[in-house]
Amino acid sequence: MTSVLDKTTAVKAPGHGDAFTSHLYSLRYSPDLGWHDGGLQPLADLSLHPATLGLHYGQVIFEGMKAFRQQDGSVAVFRPWENARRFNRSGARLAMPELPEHLYVEGVDAVVAADHGELSDDPDHSLYLRPLMFGTDANLMLRPSEEYLFLVMAFVAGGFFGDVVRPVSVLVSRDQARAMPGGTGDVKCAANYGPSFVAQRRAQQAGCQQVVWLDSAERRWVEEMGGMNLFFVRGNGPGAEVFTTPLTGTLLPGVTRDSLMRVAARLGYRVAERPVSVDEWRAGCEAGEITEVFACGTAAVVTPVGHVKDVEGDFTVGDGEMGPVTRTLREALVDLQRGRVADVDGWLH
Ligand code: PMP
């Protein structure tokens, strides 16, 4: 087994989620002391009581951000304050204490400062940062934990779907739903992800890379895709409309989604948030009106969707290849993240 501290793993072969860097930041919470004992240590196993409350009752939240090598050789994290805010929204939903945003960012900064040297200057690589927080009480009463552990770890990431950007195929999940109104679909808690694995596995068995989630009531409205938000392009050229599904409370408000809406508007596209059903998606593609579809997220950046499999009929988006609007937006975002263009929004930290 490769040691987590084997740097050659980190530098040579980043998959997604195993090329860990050398350090772990941790910070504890207790009602008496508040947040305390923050510090960096070598990445190592944790010692946990078997009754650790978070493990049993799912009081676990996490985040995902990336740091990118900049043109001048420095490393910058993309929009960490947005993730800090989302982290606290997730925590509030799970009855967890608030983590002041500056403490969240301090933890992220500590790991980046210690481990940025493990990120090569390969332009396809980045440092994926994973903050995590869970209830640590050794107690099985069905109630919120009183004590918590906040951790930040990192791994070197290549492309989520491999280093070359190729369109993905997706399977529409008709029977299993990801989230319901009043549930936790709009926050980033661990409990949203385990239950998605069966549908994800089915997608893979059907020859697809990802699953598309629909609303849980009508099983008609497109919500999001795996761990990514979805965008649709109507029309061609500079007058094209770029739209994404609205934040109904049952999908995650992606930081990449928000960034792309702003970038697209700045590039002159018409940008909208509106519901789209699978039927409208299929009919739009068949009529040539919906010309491109892409998924976006921290891990996947911008990834074109080429083919859609669905029990009510498969279809292809455009010619099944990456379209010009997707390519333009992908390049614009990557240029921003890597400091190749002016950071007019102050998104780089
Ligand atoms: N939806 C889900 C369910 C996710 O897990 C993620 C990844 N955090 C996203 C969308 C994309 O969010 P972001 O752009 O903030 O990475």
pLDDT digits 0-9 by tens, 23-60? 999 999 999 999 999 999 999 999 999 999 999 999 99
CA distance 63 to 244: 22
Ligand 1 atom 6: residue of nearest CA? 227
Q: Name the band, by pLDDT with cuts 50, 70 and 90, for residue 162.
A: low
pLDDT of residue 2: 37
Angle at 314 between CA 313 and CA 316, to 5 degrees: 140
pLDDT digits (tens, 9 = 90+) for 279-326: 999 999 999 999 999 999 999 899 999 999 999 999 999 999 999 999
Predicted TM-score (pTM) of this structure: 0.94
Q: Which of 125, 114, 100, 138 is nearest to 25 (CA)?
A: 114
Residue 20 has pLDDT above 50, yes or no: yes
pLDDT tens digit sequence for 224-276: 999 999 999 999 877 899 999 999 999 999 999 999 999 999 999 999 999 99
Which residue has 């500056």 as its token pair? 102
Q: Is the ipTM of this complex over 0.90?
A: yes
pLDDT at residue number 161: 64
* Nearest CA, atom 2, ligand 1: 227
Q: Is the CB of 64 under 6 A from ligand 1?
A: yes
Question: For the segment 100-156, what is each residue's pLDDT rounded down to a tens digit?
Answer: 999 999 999 999 999 999 998 888 899 999 999 999 999 999 999 999 999 999 999
Residue closest by Cα to atom 10 of ligand 1? 228
The reply to whether ligand 1 has any atom less than 6 angstroms from the CB of 255 is yes
Contacts for 301 with CB less than 8 Å, ≥ 6 apart: 159, 160, 256, 330, 333, 334
**Is residue 15's pLDDT more than 70?**
no
Is there an atom of ligand 1 within 6 Å of 185 CB? no
Number of neighbours of residue 32 by Cβ within 10 angstroms: 7
